[in-house]
Structure 1
């Protein structure tokens, strides 16, 4: 609980890129509020200049839908870059003033659940413009380089594997805190299971595989649904999110149980026996909290595949890479000891660590961090104390000062130039930057521009900085 008589204020910054970052921010806000904090919540897309937040979100969706192979190449090329490229840095600089304005004088800490926001907060910390601790809550099980921002005081991870990846990339204050989900995601008993099946109109005794593809319903969902049905092991129950066209196509394909956006996901998970996912995001954690075994299949490129690899390495969800492994793996999870082991491992993820709130509390009430050179060569804010690290696999110098129990986890607008040609060039550039940033990566934009990207970087920098004065 906060230590002072008046509530302590925390700022949480997310981004409406799908539902994963916002979902994590919603749970963080709820937990912090329950702990007695006042919480201000902001969408990073609203803080970007020239009202290009919607462009970011739309570009991301279109790239995943129309050019998944291109997304994979961009992600792989930038996964271990030490810093975002000049165009992305220019775009992020344009958000600094608005981001700083979200922090009121009585705020004691800022928490980001989106890598772009973390980059901005880290830059503000390094330059001394943000005087309070800035933390990143890693929402993915794998860590792209853009998640690791010099200047951030603490990087909070749900598991030792993303924590180790963040540490390897030079993150400061890496701490294993465990995940957070809505408390409604709990294991169901037999009565709850039957009631949920009746409520959703599902057969009472057939094994059911819940197939999810995020709030946008992206990826080869139709192929996965047909292949699950073809195994004869389980009946697919497909959630398409807001992709109404996908839902209609699945029904035309003969898939009997198709849902759009589902408000009662805890109930639907109670009705099902296994979760098949393709992105490794918040829904996977919700299923683990609910005692469902999880499998990754036909994953979307980029973070979908790296998250699948990390979940597989953690022993929390096997990654099926070949269709001929689908039937035997589903059988093992539904009827064999592998399924029981994964249920236990998933539930242990939530019972052996309290989540990120204690870490945020410690940073909000502790002494202001001092600075020392970070491993990336820039000053990095670090805490002044180090906890007992006997229960973590990470080096002592990489972890922030939090209670020891936290660590107990098992191993376009106004363009430069007035000519139509100049406007087209700048629009292309902004769209490409939007695509790369919305992916959570700082891709080499020369791929998109061909020759001489430097001219465009300069134009974008002038455009963004001029807009934000």
Structure 2
């Protein structure tokens, strides 16, 4: 245990699947560091075996781009599954060794901002291989089942709606902590607005609708931009992220104000009057912190639509489902009392709770125990009703810790046993090659689902167990 006067070390694990998970991890790291913690950051995609993180990210992007209907079916089929399917569990099992290696002896808590990492951390806690608290910071306003991992000690939510969804799915230690954003996202006064418009070359007096589609620029962005322009209510200012091809198509469509990746998003938000978004991620929270009204329109499938529904239910952003509602809704947000009410509600979101740092601090600096982390979720009927705490301190969150491996269980290996004959070494390498091959096959299937739940075949009614029954054998051997 570290000296009482030394800074407490926290590990934060995110994933570069778009920019939302990393953005939340960046702000969490910033706030924890400001509070006096030492923070280690890791990308979960780098912890996956056989260097398949990039494959995972690329397959996910292609699924969103080329087969959005398939993504929707996957999401809907797995939204309330009690555990990931066998292919996903096998792939995640292969990340356990590297995930454990990120936890140094003086680390006192691990926080995940990505559901795949949460599943790994929860599994390690259940089996007693991780003896410090593991927390999940829910970056979405809606909670897919993969976010809720048995073994995780606390689930931290930005709002009561995702907190309630997490609780319904059996999450432990659910706490409403409020969101986090870069402190540069603040409301702009008139002078700041004029200066921002001048910097970005935007018209000084025309109402502007900032249209965003995440760092990947996915979804029906061209349709949304044309429809905003067609309303005559506001001019679209489109941010395409790293999708350069989309930016070129929009310019060819006659959209005058198109940007790729924008480093000064606070300034661009200062220049605009309303945010139109399609995924409900970090950018929506940044706009709310900046005093912009937010609207969800032409949302991407899966989490984009469930986040839109949750934001609508919370009164933070209306979800426009039909194009004929676009013009009147934008008019109300730009010029009517609805816009003022939503600005107030968005700003209040950041003052109602202190953020996740107090909750992480309570877990990290609390006493470690040797009690066993519950291995099964309790049935919904057996769980008491929860009144969510907005103080930032988890209510009733156990500081559970699995027992570590006893020292006397480690046995020395004779040097002679390591001197394998050439044939034996060749056979061992062949087995490792076969395991890598099987793992890559599993990855191709699991990349269609990690972060959303199950392989595409599962969403169309096929059993994943039939195809992946042998994976666990290979991966469990390789994990030793």
TM range (shorter): 0.7 to 0.9
CA contact (8 A) 2:210 2:272 kept: yes
- Change beyond 3 A, Cα 1:411–1:223: farther
| Structure label with greater radius of gyration | 2
How far apart, in 1, do the equivalents of 2:416 and 2:425 lie?
51
Paired with 1:406 and 1:275, the residues of 2 have a C-alpha distance of 65
Equivalent-residue separation in structure 2 for 1:409 and 1:331 (angstroms): 76
Distance 2:294 2:303 in 1: 17
Shift of 1:82: 0.2
Where 1:42 maps in the other structure, the secondary structure is strand
Q: In structure 2, do the counterparts of structure 1 residues 160 and 415 end up closer, same or farther at CA, with 3 Å as the change threshold? A: farther
Q: Distance in 2 between matches of 1:432 and 1:302?
A: 21
Residue matched to 2:462: 451
Cα displacement string for residues 148-174 of structure 1 (whole angstroms, at most 9, x for unaligned residues) = 000000000000000000000000000
Residues 119, 284 of structure 1: alpha-carbon distance in 2 compared, 3 angstrom cutoff: same
1:414-455 deviation digits (Å, cap 9, x = unpaired): 999999999999689737655556551221554489977545
Return closer, same or farther for 1:326/1:91 CA change in 2, 3 Å cut-off: same
Cα 1:270–1:393 change in 2 (3 A) is farther
Moved more, 428-437 or 88-97: 428-437
Deviation at 1:51, TM superposition (A): 0.7
Please say which of residues 459-468 and 41-50 is displaced more in the overlay. 459-468
Whether the 8 Å contact between 1:288 and 1:346 is mirrored in structure 2 is yes
CA pair 128-257 structure 1, distance change in 2 beyond 3 A: same
Cα distance, 1:133–1:458 mapped onto 2, change above 3 Å: same
Superposed CA offset, 1:215-255 (max 9, x none): 00000000000000000000000000000000000000000
What TM-score, normalized by structure 2, do the two folds share?
Answer: 0.84
Distance 1:449 1:202, change over 3 A: closer
Determine whether 1:380 maps to 2:391. Answer: no
* 8 Å contact kept, 2:123–2:151: yes
In structure 2, distance between residues paired with 1:57 and 1:397: 41
TM-score, normalised relative to structure 1: 0.86
Shift in CA distance, 451/185, structure 1 to aligned 2, threshold 3 Å: closer
For residues 140 and 213 of structure 1, do their structure 2 counterparts lie closer, same or farther at Cα, with a shift above 3 Å needed? same
Confirm or deny: 8 A CA contact 2:16 2:57 kept in the other structure: yes
CA drift at 1:465: 3.9
Number of positions where the alignment pairs a residue of Structure 1 with one of Structure 2:
461
Separation in 2 of the partners of 1:236 and 1:8? 46
Per-residue deviation, 1:40: 0.5
CA distance in 1, matches of 2:49, 2:24: 24
SS at match of 1:58: helix
Q: Find the residue that maps to 1:414 and give its secondary structure.
A: helix
Query: CA 1:276 to 1:328, structure 2 compared with 1: closer, same or farther past 3 Å?
Result: same
Which residue is equivalent to 2:232? 232
Distance 1:231 1:372, change over 3 A: closer
Aligned equivalents of 1:186 and 1:406: distance in 2? 64
RMSD between aligned residues: 11.2
Give yes or no for contact 1:207–1:272 (8 Å, CA) kept in 2.
yes
